[in-house]
């Protein structure tokens, strides 16, 4: 059978010499590499005092955006859930009731919106698929947690606080 790529290498099956069998040469090579790294710059970042520089295209936690009046941008179209290759986004749509015009922009809104961060691969497809710019990825890490339930972010965890909520805090 012919190989599909040219990456295959022939394995040398000759018996090892005495020097090779005691692995002395491999130990010496490992020590040389270790001593070379002693004099190089340290990669450790002292976290609370120093913050790590991120790439401008770094994608972190998701945020559900609001408009200037504090209403939710999400219209529960489902394009973000369809675009997600990991199927990490779950949403349920609901109809806006009378008197809720100050909460939602359109007649339809996301009654339930969840992102499972354990499944998310932070590809950014949800952000690109959203026609209303309702979801975007920030430069924030996902915090550590001890239970799986802590990594499923609901709508209230993802929404940006309204201007009225910001003043209270």
Q: Is residue 130 a known part of a binding site?
A: yes
Residues 6+ apart with CB under 8 A from 95: 107, 108
The annotation status of 84 as a binding-site residue, yes or no, is yes
The answer on whether 80 is annotated among ligand-binding residues is yes
Phi, psi of 14 (to 5 degrees): -70, 150
**74 assigned to a ligand binding site:** yes
Q: State in Å, rounded, how far the first CA of the chain is from the last one.
A: 68
123 labelled binding-site residue:
yes
| Beta-carbon contacts of residue 162 (< 8 Å; ≥ 6 apart) | 66, 70
Between CA 152 and CA 5 the distance in angstroms is 41
Sequence ranges of the binding site for [4Fe-4S] cluster: 74, 77, 80, 84, 120, 123, 126, 130
Sequence ranges of the binding site: 74, 77, 80, 84, 120, 123, 126, 130
């Amino acid at each position: 059978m012919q190989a599909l790529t040219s990456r295959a290498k022939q394995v040398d099956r000759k018996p090892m010499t005495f020097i090779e069998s005691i692995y002395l040469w491999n130990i010496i090579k490992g020590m040389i590499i270790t001593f070379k790294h002693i004099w190089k710059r340290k990669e450790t970042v002292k976290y609370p005092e120093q913050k790590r520089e991120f790439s401008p295209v770094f994608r972190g936690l998701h945020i559900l955006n609001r408009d200037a009046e504090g209403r939710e941008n999400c219209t529960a179209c489902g394009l973000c859930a369809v675009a997600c290759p990991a199927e990490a986004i779950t949403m349920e749509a609901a109809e806006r009731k009378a008197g809720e015009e100050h909460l939602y922009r359109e007649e339809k809104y996301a009654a339930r919106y969840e992102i499972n961060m354990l499944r998310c691969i932070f590809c950014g497809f949800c952000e690109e698929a959203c026609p209303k710019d309702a979801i975007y990825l920030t430069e924030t890490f996902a915090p550590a947690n001890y239970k799986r339930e802590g990594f499923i972010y609901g709508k209230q965890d993802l929404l940006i606080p309204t201007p009225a909520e910001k003043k209270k805090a």
